[in-house]
Amino acid sequence: MTKKDLTTANKIKETARRLFTEKGYGRITTRDIAKEADVNLALVNYYFRSKDELFHTIMFEVIQGFMGQMVVLMNDDHSFEEKLELVVSNYIDLLSEQPNLPIFMMSEIRNHPQEMAERLGIAKMIREAKFFKELAERCPEGVPPIQFFMNILSLTVFPFMGKPMIEAATGMEQQQFNMTMQMRKKLIPQWILGMLNPPKQ
Amino acid sequence: MTKKDLTTANKIKETARRLFTEKGYGRITTRDIAKEADVNLALVNYYFRSKDELFHTIMFEVIQGFMGQMVVLMNDDHSFEEKLELVVSNYIDLLSEQPNLPIFMMSEIRNHPQEMAERLGIAKMIREAKFFKELAERCPEGVPPIQFFMNILSLTVFPFMGKPMIEAATGMEQQQFNMTMQMRKKLIPQWILGMLNPPKQ
DNA sequence: TCAATAATTAAACATTTGTTTAAATCAATT
DNA sequence: AATTGATTTAAACAAATGTTTAATTATTGA
């Protein structure tokens, strides 16, 4: 049940998603995809007109999925603190399974500004989400809410992007890294709340 | 004085560095490099044996530069608080000029584990730096220092990686983004110190 | 069952791309 | 000035790559 729908088209798309997110558009060939998906080369073009279109389809779905989840969580009916924990916990779980997602999104989005522009609708939905407004109300004077939104994303997402580096630098194993990230589910919300209520000096 | 040494070899290397960091290895061709550097195609192979070797040379220098700077700053003779400000401020300035560096490093390092292994020496030097030891001493019980080191890097580096997304999501302009990052030079050290001295509850 | 549509295959095509070659030009030395 | 070596150039080559074609097989619906 990990991957439903084993139609040929889906086999190609899921394989391509994995390969593209692992190595990026430029390092993956249509033959790589066909071979890894165990289908005939021509089927890639048969089901998706071109490598480019296949890539765009995948990028669209990945961004849609990532951002869409965020919007849902940020409009949840729980308290601010609970939503904070929810967002952090949800993305740590998601990225523990798909650690390549952020680098893929960031690096390929840069090459496709127009796709990003189309996603602006979702971006707007994020800014208008309940969580974002509650965050704005709690900001210390003089510090705009975007700073704290950056912080939540930074603390949650960056470690996965820097994972190969961090593992090499610290001698961590895969499992130890995952435990470190699990620990952050509780720590990050605490840290963020601490930032929002800075000690008076 | 921006780019010294306008020998042909250097023109090629600097152009390649820019293009590789912008688009990644797979999306850049030797012809792109030659054309942009305004030199004959064959000169790329004449001065650097192959596209691969050129890339490795550049990746080596980039990682060396990035990590090396960190080691120097983290062994500085100032107080812990000052070193913290120094590291953050230094990297915000560096990345403001070269915002593509982190994605390049992260995405390409993943494809070259052996290069990373060779850099392990530097990683060790980071762990053994004065700053890291002082950080360890200040950690609250039960939270390993790597968590806070992750935080410093996350809060400093991630916004540059997510820049295209953040700009799109917030409608920020280039200049506004830079100002936001400048503001973080003071904020991040405060936030980190706050994390190290959590409010008792 | 049989026609029609969809799916699959092997092969080929046209570019692109990394690399090499061999000749030409330039610079320095004798 | 002549020679030597380094540098540059245009052209070509071979392999890789995205895509298409035409034939074959499988599936569906009447």
At B169-186, the pLDDT tens digits run: 777 888 999 999 999 999
For residue A117, the chain B residues in CB contact (below 8 A) are 168
Confidence at residue A119, expressed as pLDDT on a 0 to 100 scale = 65
Residues 6+ apart with CB under 8 A from B72: none
| Average pLDDT for B112-130 | 76
Residues 6+ apart with CB under 8 A from A200: none
Report pTM: 0.91
Torsion A126-A130-A131-A135 (CA) sign: positive
Whether B29 has its CB under 8 Å from any CB of chain A: the answer is no
Residue keyed to tokens 């390993």: B144
> Closest Cα partner for A152 from A194, A120, A114, A99?
A194
Q: How far is CA A23 from CA A20, A79, B20, B56, in A?
A: 5, 39, 14, 17
How far in angstroms lies nucleotide C1's C1' from the CA of residue A3? 38
Q: How far is CA B86 from CA A144, A177, A183, B94, B178, in A?
A: 23, 28, 28, 12, 18
Whether B140 has its CB under 8 Å from any CB of chain A: the answer is no
pLDDT interval class at B201 (50, 70, 90) = low
Q: At what angle do helices B101-111 and B145-161 cross, to 10 degrees?
A: 110
How far in angstroms lies nucleotide C26's C1' from the CA of residue A103? 47
Query: Which of A114, A126, A187 should one mutate to test binding to chain B, selecting the residue with the greatest count of B CBs within 10 A?
Result: A187
| Cβ–Cβ < 8 Å for B86, B76 | yes
Q: What is the C-alpha to C-alpha distance for residues A114 and B30, in angstroms, rounded to an integer?
A: 27
Confidence at residue A122, expressed as pLDDT on a 0 to 100 scale = 73
Whether B193 has its CB under 8 Å from any CB of chain A: the answer is no
| Cβ–Cβ < 8 Å for B163, B105 | no
- Given a cut of 70, is residue A1 above it in pLDDT? no
Tokens of B62: 């980039």
| Cβ–Cβ < 8 Å for A145, A136 | yes
pLDDT interval class at B167 (50, 70, 90) = confident
Confidence at residue A170, expressed as pLDDT on a 0 to 100 scale = 75
Whether A126 has its CB under 8 Å from any CB of chain B: the answer is yes
Q: How far is B5 from chain A (nearest CA, A)?
A: 30
Q: What is the C-alpha to C-alpha distance for residues A7 and A14, in angstroms, rounded to an integer?
A: 11
| Average pLDDT for B5-22 | 94
Confidence at residue A109, expressed as pLDDT on a 0 to 100 scale = 82
Q: Is the C-beta of residue B41 closer than 7 Å to nucleic acid chain D?
A: yes
Give percent of chain B with pLDDT exceeding 90. 72
Region of residue B187 (phi > 0: left; psi between -120 and 50: alpha; otherwise: beta): alpha
| Average pLDDT for A48-65 | 93
Greater confidence (A111 vs B115) lies with: A111
Whether A140 has its CB under 8 Å from any CB of chain B: the answer is no
Q: What percentage of chain A's residues is helix, strand, coil (to nearest 5)? A: 80, 0, 20
Answer yes or no: do A183 and B147 touch at CB < 8 A: yes
User: Torsion angle, CA of A141/A82/A96/A33, rounded to 10 degrees?
Assistant: -90
Confidence at residue B1, expressed as pLDDT on a 0 to 100 scale = 37
Answer yes or no: do B107 and A24 touch at CB < 8 A: yes
Q: What is the C-alpha to C-alpha distance for residues A197 and A140, in angstroms, rounded to an integer?
A: 7
Of B23, B164, B180, the CB nearest to A147: B180
For residue A26, the chain B residues in CB contact (below 8 A) are 23-28
Confidence at residue B120, expressed as pLDDT on a 0 to 100 scale = 65
- Considering chain A, what is the average pLDDT of its residues? 91
Confidence at residue B3, expressed as pLDDT on a 0 to 100 scale = 47
Confidence at residue B111, expressed as pLDDT on a 0 to 100 scale = 85
Q: How far apart are the first and last CA of chain B?
A: 55
- Given a cut of 90, is residue A56 above it in pLDDT? yes
For residue B106, the chain A residues in CB contact (below 8 A) are 103, 161-162, 164-165
Q: What is the C-alpha to C-alpha distance for residues B7 and B45, in angstroms, rounded to an integer?
A: 15
| Cβ–Cβ < 8 Å for A32, A54 | no
Whether A145 has its CB under 8 Å from any CB of chain B: the answer is no
Q: What is the C-alpha to C-alpha distance for residues B74 and B115, in angstroms, rounded to an integer?
A: 23
Region of poorest pLDDT, from A20-24, A83-87, B172-176: B172-176
- Given a cut of 70, is residue A161 above it in pLDDT? yes
Query: Which of A32, A74, A160, A191 should one mutate to test binding to chain B, selecting the residue with the greatest count of B CBs within 10 A?
Result: A191
